[in-house]
């Protein structure tokens, strides 16, 4: 692993770290994360690494779909972590406004920026519709493994370990879903929430189920026509979602609801979680009732 010579190519930046793909012999299936200092000592970074590593191994043993953490190293007083390369493409785009800011900063004129922003927005809409088709035709097994993975993570470490935007959920037809960028430091909060009593354990199990539903729905909401309309309004883009787009997103939402019920989560819990989180934002009450009454075929597609 990381046999010399090798080179790093930046592919993404987050709040806490940067992600690099590695070019070199035997490096095809790994990525390197470089952590920002932010006044954090090597001691704290190493301590966090071992916490992450232990939690990562625990979840992998349970079959959770996450990349494996391999090792860390320090070079030129910079802290790096080596991980398995996640498989698939991001579920949907969540950083439209950040991308717009970059386009504007790098453009020579307002007209050029406006043209690039409009083209980028239209590309997002087209890619979302391609993704809808993929997900509506995906095997139920892919969704069931994802829900089981989310349930195990919530049960072990709580809801707050997730940053559940769609760029932290990857999907491919061959490998199904994979989850990245979990923050295990919140596990301590989770451990202190409930005491070991029958009453509290019942409450805990109910919250695990509800939180599993929430984190399952959340990344898909970024493809809703309400989110796209908000982005369009912010940038003065002329956008009206097509009837096909609305229909496909409703069909996908129905698929998500069906998969949670297939997993064994009570229908009333699924409906309540969805209503509490998303009703009034992505759907009206009438649209929600229409969605839950859609018929499903064996593959989970709706018609």
Residues 251-296 have pLDDT tens digits of: 999 999 999 999 999 999 999 898 888 887 788 888 888 898 887 6
Q: Is 146 helix (H, G, I), strand (E, B) or coil?
A: helix
Residue 163 and residue 276 in one domain: yes
Section 8-34 average pLDDT: 83
Same domain, 202 and 184: yes
Average pLDDT, the chain: 85
What's the confidence (pLDDT) of residue 5? Answer: 55
What pLDDT score was predicted for residue 109?
A: 81
Separation CA 293–CA 302 (nearest Å): 10
What is the pLDDT at residue 172?
Answer: 95
pLDDT band at 38 (very low <50, low <70, confident <90, very high): low
Give φ, ψ of 238 to 5 degrees.
-80, 105
Confidence of residue 192 (pLDDT cuts 50, 70, 90): very low
Q: Where a domain ends, among 49, 69, 84?
A: 84
129 within a domain of the structure (yes/no): yes
Range in 24-28, 94-98, 131-135, 276-280 with the lowest mean pLDDT: 24-28
Record the pTM.
Answer: 0.87
- Residues 277 and 161: their CA atoms lie apart, in Å, by 19
Which pairs from 287-291 meet CB under 8 Å and 24+ separation? 287/250, 290/250, 291/250, 291/253, 291/254, 291/257
| Domain presence at residue 97 | yes
Lowest mean pLDDT among 88-102, 113-127, 227-241: 88-102
d(CA 54, CA 157): 12
Task: Report the distance separating Cα 49 and Cα 218, nearest Å.
Answer: 27
Q: Is 48 domain-assigned?
A: yes
Residues in contact with 182: Cβ distance below 8 Å, sequence separation at least 6, in sequence order: 55, 66, 153, 157, 161, 162
Cβ–Cβ < 8 Å for 32, 20 = yes
Domain hosting residue 187, numbered range: 90-292
Check residue 186 and give its pLDDT.
57
- Assess whether 136 and 263 both reside in one domain: yes
298 Cβ neighbours under 8 A, 6+ residues apart: none
> In the chain, what percentage of residues exceed pLDDT 70?
88
Q: Could you tell me which residue, 38 or 66, shows the higher pLDDT? A: 66
pLDDT band at 202 (very low <50, low <70, confident <90, very high): low
User: Is residue 302's pLDDT more than 70?
Assistant: no
Q: Report the range out of 17-26, 82-91, 136-145, 226-235 with the highest average pLDDT.
A: 136-145
Pair 83, 69: CB distance under 8 Å: yes
3-state helix, strand, coil in the chain (%, to 5): 55, 15, 30
Between 169 and 49, the more confident residue is 169
Domain termination site, one of 44, 65, 84? 84
Cα 54 → chain centroid: 22
Segment 16-42 mean pLDDT: 81
Angle at 276 between CA 133 and CA 269, to 5 degrees: 80
Question: Token digits for 97?
Answer: 């406004």
Question: CA 199 to CA 127: how far, in whole Å?
Answer: 47
Q: What's the rounded Cα separation, in Å, for the pair 125 and 187?
A: 37
pLDDT in tens, 53-88: 999 999 999 999 999 999 988 888 888 899 999 999
Based on the domain organization, do 238 and 151 belong to the same domain?
Answer: yes
User: Do both 267 and 128 map to the same domain?
Assistant: yes
Chosen domain end from 63, 84, 105:
84
pLDDT tens-digit profile of 94-112?
888 778 877 777 776 878 8
For residue 71, CA distances in Å to 9, 25, 81, 295 come to 19, 18, 6, 48
Report the largest interatomic distance among the alpha carbons of the chain, rounded to a whole angstrom: 65
Pairwise CA distance, residues 117 & 128, whole Å: 17
Residues 35, 81: contact at Cβ < 8 Å? yes
**What's the Rg (C-alpha) of the chain?**
21
Q: Supply the CATH number for residue 78's domain.
A: 3.30.200.20
The answer to whether the CB of 249 falls within 8 A of the CB of 224 is yes
Range among 3-7, 95-99, 132-136 rated most confident: 132-136
- Choice between 218 and 104, residue whose per-residue pLDDT is larger: 218
């Amino acid at each position: 692993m990381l046999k010399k010579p090798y080179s790093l190519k930046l592919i993404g930046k987050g709040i806490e770290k940067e992600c690099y793909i590695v070019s070199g012999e035997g490096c095809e299936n790994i990525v390197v994360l470089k952590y920002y200092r932010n006044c954090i000592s090597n001691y704290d970074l190493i301590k966090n690494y071992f916490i992450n590593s232990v939690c990562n191994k625990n979840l992998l043993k349970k079959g959770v779909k996450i990349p494996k953490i391999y090792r860390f190293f320090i070079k030129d007083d910079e802290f790096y972590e080596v991980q398995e390369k996640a498989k698939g493409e991001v579920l949907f785009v969540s950083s439209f406004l950040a991308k717009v800011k970059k386009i504007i900063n790098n453009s020579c004129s307002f007209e050029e920026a406006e043209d690039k922003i409009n083209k980028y927005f239209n590309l997002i809409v087209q890619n979302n519709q391609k993704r809808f088709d993929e997900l509506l035709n995906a095997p139920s097994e892919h969704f069931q493994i994802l829900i089981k993975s989310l349930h195990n993570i919530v049960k072990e470490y709580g809801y707050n370990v997730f940053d559940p935007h769609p760029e932290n959920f990857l999907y491919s037809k061959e490998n199904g879903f994979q989850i990245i960028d979990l923050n295990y430091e919140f596990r301590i909060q989770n451990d202190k929430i409930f005491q070991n009593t029958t009453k509290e354990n019942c409450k805990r199990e109910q919250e695990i189920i509800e939180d599993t539903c929430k984190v399952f729905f959340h990344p898909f909401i970024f493809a809703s026509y309400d989110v796209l309309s908000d982005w369009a309004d912010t940038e003065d883009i002329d956008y009206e979602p097509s009837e096909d787009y609305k229909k496909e997103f409703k069909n996908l939402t129905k698929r998500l609801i069906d998969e949670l019920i297939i997993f064994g989560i009570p229908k009333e819990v699924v409906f309540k979680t969805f209503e509490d989180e998303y009703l009034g934002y992505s759907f009206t009450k009438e649209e929600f009732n229409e969605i839950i009454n859609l018929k499903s075929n064996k593959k989970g597609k709706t018609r």
